[in-house]
């Protein structure tokens, strides 16, 4: 299991034990974390699982694909340099302790 911290816009945080290979979106939805809408269920077509990755660890993630980059142009909250779609971040041992923050809105 990989420990991931998800912070809501209110500042409330949740430490999740995420099985390796699961997306952060899957873990958030399974654990009932508000703010990850995930309308498309992880198919990378809706951008409603937008998160901000802690900037100092952003480079540890695999780069986003073209589909994700296009969707990030359409997010409803501010797009930041550390913006990613949580459906495209797969849990892996090297991400243990990663912190992501949910933006104020997804839709």
Cα separation, 6 vs 66, whole angstroms = 25
Query: Facing residues of 13 across strands?
Result: 7
State pLDDT tens for residues 24-50. 999 999 999 999 999 999 999 999 999
Q: Is the dihedral of CA 12, 95, 53, 103 positive or negative?
A: negative
Cα separation, 34 vs 37, whole angstroms = 8
pLDDT of the residue at 23: 98
pLDDT of the residue at 29: 97
pLDDT of the residue at 80: 98
Quick one: average pLDDT of 37-66?
96
pLDDT of the residue at 39: 95
How does residue 72 score in pLDDT terms, banded at 50, 70 and 90? very high
Q: Is the pTM higher than 0.85?
A: yes
Listed as own residue / partner, the contacts of 79-83 with beta carbons closer than 8 Å and 24 or more positions apart are 80/52, 81/55, 82/52, 82/53, 82/54, 82/55, 82/58, 83/50, 83/51, 83/52, 83/53
Quick one: average pLDDT of 19-26?
98
């Amino acid at each position: 299991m990989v420990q991931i911290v998800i912070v809501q816009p209110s500042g409330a945080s949740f430490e999740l034990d995420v099985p390796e290979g699961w997306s952060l979106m899957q873990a958030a939805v399974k654990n009932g974390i508000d703010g990850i809408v995930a309308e498309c269920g992880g198919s990378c077509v809706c951008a409603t699982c937008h998160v901000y990755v802690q900037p100092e660890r952003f480079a540890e993630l695999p780069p986003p694909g073209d589909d994700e980059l296009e969707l990030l142009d359409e997010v409803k909250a501010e797009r930041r340099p550390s913006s990613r779609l949580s459906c495209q971040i797969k849990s892996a041992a090297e991400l243990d302790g990663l912190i992501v923050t949910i933006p104020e809105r997804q839709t």
